[in-house]
Structure 1
Amino acid sequence: MNRIITYIKHNKIKSATLAVLLIVYYFSLPKQLFKDPTTTVITSSNNELLGAQIAKDGQWRFPQNDSIPEKFKTCIVQFEDEYFYKHPGFNPISIFKALRENLKSGGIKRGGSTITQQVIRLSRKGQSRTYLEKIKEIILASRLELRESKNKILSYYSSNAPFGGNVVGLDAASWRYFNRDASQLSWAESATLAVLPNAPSLIYPGKNQEKLLKKRDRLLTKLLINQIIDSLTYKLSIAESLPQKPYRLPQIAPHLLQKASHTNHGERIRTTIDVKLQERVNHIVKSHYNQLSQNEIYNAAVLVLDVKTRQVLAYVGNTPTDKVHQKDVDIIDKPRSTGSILKPFLYAAMLDAGDLLPHTLVTDVPTQFGSYNPENFNKTYDGAIPASRALSRSLNVPAVRMLQDFGLDRFHHYLKTLQLKDLKYNANHYGLSLILGGAESNLWDLCKSYAALSSTLNHFSETSSEYFTNEFCEPTFLASETIDFGDKTRDKTLFDAASIYLTYESLKEVNRPESDESWEFFDGSKQIAWKTGTSFGFRDAWAIGSTKDYVVGVWVGNADGEGRPGLVGVQTAAPILFDVFDLLPNSNWFSKPFDEMQEIDVCTLSGHRASPNCDAIEQKFIQVSGLKTTPCPYHILIHVDKNESFQVNSSCEDLGNITHKSWFVLPPLMAYYYKTKNPFYKPLPKFRSDCIGSNTVSMAFIYPKENNAIFLPKDFDGKTNDLVLKIAHSKPESTLFWYLDNTFIASTKDIHDLAIIPKQGAHIITVVDEFGNEAKRKITISE
């Protein structure tokens, strides 16, 4: 040590020069050797290639891969650099032999470069091949040997060597020339790829087959001589044919590849996709597309989520249509009209808030809110229907009336908490049409929301009745990510578990497509909570379903928004939904969240909490918040004669002959439609004629609706059709008096229908019954 210090003191210039040279040598090698753009590559959960997107410079250049198959590693070392594991980055003997041969020939006939030197040359692309450049390569190669392991240097070479055309690197070459992963290549295939970088422009698969074959077979012979392969392997290898032309890379999940490239461009991405499931879902979508396209319906999308991990298991962004019909558009994250797909969230919100019990009767009659006139899909009405059945049948009028009762702003708040990113405006912008497709959302967000509801139920039953703070989180398609559901809490995240469970119980009863009409009678059939939706103008068809383990979402339509007859959720999207669920394992049904429920007496007919007047009562589990709902308002106590034919009182009947009877009575307009679907509904008996006093009467217009603009068509003979006025009265036998603009026009009894032909313009229709009760309607007649 003292000698070194003494030497430096006496040779300062030399020492400084040496120090500078060492520093220059140390920093001579760039930290990142290769900066070329790379292909975006996605693989399945078990690392099978799903697809790749060509690099920005038009090259198939997969990202750096440090894992090199042993066969290729052996072949490339034997062919390019037999002393690779022994030299320090350059081989003096090879350099001397190359120099001697080049001097004799008067040109560059032999390179003498090691694999390490070739890595340096590849990284310094564009440099002329001169002796000065060769010296630089030697210096940089030795520096690379000091910095990296031999395996790392081999990985640099295999990932960046040219393999002909626009194919760079072993991984891309393996797929382009042999349609399989490099780890699955045979000895002959590995040898073929090992000789290609030596002269990629001269030897290209499908061309110069004889030269390529000779090079490959010479390498295989060398492997035999060096006892790396046995004679049988050698014979089988030389019998293998050469690749004739490049294969197309797999495109099993092309739209997921697009999505991944936006955030992870040029990277190798291991996804959560189950490749077998993805391929089978692709097949289902293609099969349905072949049928749907006959009706000029060209696009569809399917998303499958694992509820427990929130991972994407299958991602089909579109059908295999053509560019004219926008096959490259990823529909999964595009905003589309929601149709009825948001109805379960309203039902759950009303249960959660304690505004409703699962089977409470809700009103289903012709309804108008200002200029907004919602209608049921089948144009019929039930008068009154249990809320759960209104949801399972996806009736529009009850849904709009429920939203009106619940509050538009209140429901809008729930939807914003679901983080539906396409819900961009305030509640008043959407109005009551919000529940029927007035808003837009996308398949990703909707599936995410249904998965969050299912996961809430799972976690509640698994964690001693607790919730998680981050339940409504984003799903992931990245295998490297693990979803953090947040901290446990006793407080609900959005909906309580009971409200979700009761919502799912209703959705489980939705009628399946025609081919599955009797699904509930088959042993082992899947229990699925599912909902369809159809947007206005038949532009969007939805179907989303959930089991305890999986959520499947389907959208069908045209990417350009063109509507088509028959583009209905239950007819087009639901069959795809159930075909996909048939691929998935059966799941047990959700556990009942007893800690959020209470068993009470419920009126069998009305679905309300039972009142003292209810004569048919069932024990039902309801959500705890439902305890504050009102008791049954439809059962009243009346006094009838022994035959229950008439109402009586003490003025006309002895007290001993009077029977006290509970009677189910609906308001007139509800009753008018209810009895058409419920033939056993018995209207309130009349008072016997000899009795003094009467029950309260009420009446309501059936048609026309309030502020209705009416067009009266003409027959072929030019005669204007009648306007038929209809009214419901609690005592149909009463006489009603009709007025048009305060002018008496007619009276009716028993059947309260009246045909008139009013003049063009605004009118007021007034109806007065014999008890003095009055009803009015404003209408406008147009031509």
Structure 2
Amino acid sequence: MSKRRSKRRFHPWRFLFKFFLVLTILCAAGLVASFAYVGLYDMPVLNTNVLTGDTSTVLMDTNENVIARLGSDERLPVKIKQVPQLVKDAFLAIEDIRFYQHHGVDLRAIIRAAWVNISGGELREGGSTITQQLIKISYLTPDRTFERKIQEIILSVQLERKYTKDEIFEMYLNRVYLGAGAYGIQSAAKIYFSKDINQLTLAETALLAGLPQAPSSYSPVQNPSAALERRNMVLDKMLKYNIIDEANYQMAKSEEVKLHYTPPKQTYDYPFFVDYVTDQLIDKYGEASVYKGGLTVYVTIDRELQKIAEAAMSNKNNYPSTVIASNGTAQPQGAAVFLDPHTGYIKAIVGGRQHTQARQLNRATQMWRQPGSTFKPIIAYGPAVEYKNMKPSTIVYDKPTTYGNWSPSNDDGIFRGAVSLRTALAKSINMVAVELLHEVSISQAKKFAVSLGIESLDEHDAGLGIALGGLHKGVTPLELAGAYGAFANQGVLVEPTAILKVKRPDGSVLEEDKPASRRVMKQTTAETMTDMLQSVVEKGTATAAAMERPVAGKTGTTDDNKDIWFVGYTPELLGAVWIGYDTPKAMPHAYGGTYPARMWKQVVSKALDGVAVARFPGTRAQDTVYVPKTTDDSVSDESEDKNTDNETTFDDTLLIPPAGETGKNDKKNNKDDNKDNNKHQPPVVKIEPDTPAEQNGDKGEETKEQTTPIEPILNKDTGANTGQEGD
């Protein structure tokens, strides 16, 4: 009798379960392998010098000259045996109570921190060990990514195998950043309390131990209430872990925070440029990495140009009458940015007349002000040339016009009739700028401005007043300089940059910047704008900036002369200069074509001394500009005061100087040589070829629009948005 082989029954669900189990295991293995690869790729190598040596960040120029060291002056290292037990216990209680039990990574602490943060509804604890924190501040960026976390874990385990616990703790206590420029516990004790660490009270010790998580947020100098709350949290932990008893706990908790604050040294070379770079680095990598990470940073500074700009900005003769404010700052203030428009490299930044403390207000990059007529090329003339194919010789009309309920006018009440586009820009005629914006449309013109890097425009900038620089927020000198860079670089915008490369202590490249560039307008548009902007300097509102080389630029003066500007460029260099009170205040008889234009010329002429004269690309249009000529030759002191730039007479002069005469100005265009008369204004004149016309007698550099607050057209959120222009 044959045996029947029993058949195994097929179970589809069992098969699917096994299949997906194997698939899950393979996926998990692949995921782990991927994470390991990502973590190991580009992972820094443990280096003893990084952990124990001078780890200040070094700023270097393109020739590898040291510009500054960030974090080198306030390091006071101590040996672990010199650190009082109470100080060590305080840091362990709040940062890593199981430091002497784990091997670099504490899974229990990670789980506990996650539970506390989730149950408490806020971030109260972190899961990183002291070893991980040391790795983070020594080698890694503060980015919260899988790659960085994997590298942190791997390096922490390696570190624990190479050094003893006491050695790791000593390195941590000497490297941890505790705010206010203090690196390490001894430095912090000196800066905050003017004490050595063995003199600290329990309350003072707890306050310092609470700083590593967020030195700025818990700063007892800047945020005393937050610092007090954090200190008490440290005391709570010390009581919980039986480090202190109830009596000492209550005594320390009732103790007031009494600082004997001694800020670190504040003076250093090229301060505003260094501050700007420092702020950018901290935004990317965090304070600990910048001040204690041993980075090498290559920057774009031109040291000589920076010194020249600083000297010009601090010279009181370059300002209207100076007063000293209650906070000790000289007023009015100033700011300037100079850059290479072809590379985007920032060559000099000066954010004020004096620098008194580290990372103080930088008016060149952190203060937004009304740009006045310097905005006209960006919002009106540039778009008109780009989208409407206008040329320097295009005839436009300076005439009474009503837009909705708004009837803008020139400050002197004169409308000059038909003028060329070049004339309108050279003399900064308000009515023409408003009409150009109206023809192009506000939406299209704003897109053009944004493409030039003007990021401060918002939904409030919706009225025609923006044609005259009346903006809701305003612009910074750096922002304005960057936008003009597109005109200077034949329509290609290169984003301004100050940082070229960042290296880790082991020499690996952490960051290498290549400034982003993009075409934002046609080449012909940029060349046309540069052509017309040269006329502004040759015979318009900015003759004070003229030199023995081609110069293009635009002046700007806001309502009541509260902000005065000049933005100009040569084929080699571009700069923006602003002057005004920190709290806007009228500056009578001060205009963009006076103090800012003269300061710009001082800086650029010295910077380009010995540099061969170059010409702007493109061919200048052969059109003629006519400016009205007054009939009364008498001059009064009042007219001199009102004409501080170049509101002088000239006939039907071709605005392209003859060969060899570039930059030479008729003395009649210089107020110091010949006073003007604007007491008698000419009638409306129609400009015709070969017919001399009169120069206008504008107040200051340009005509100024009335500031009637008509809501349908103007932006009522700020009184500046009427475009109140008078340069």
In the superposition, the TM-score normalised over structure 2's length comes to 0.48
Higher-Rg structure is 1
**Structure with more contact order per residue of length (Cα contacts < 8 Å, sep ≥ 6):** 2
Q: Identify the structure with the greater strand proportion.
A: 1
In the superposition, the TM-score normalised over structure 1's length comes to 0.45
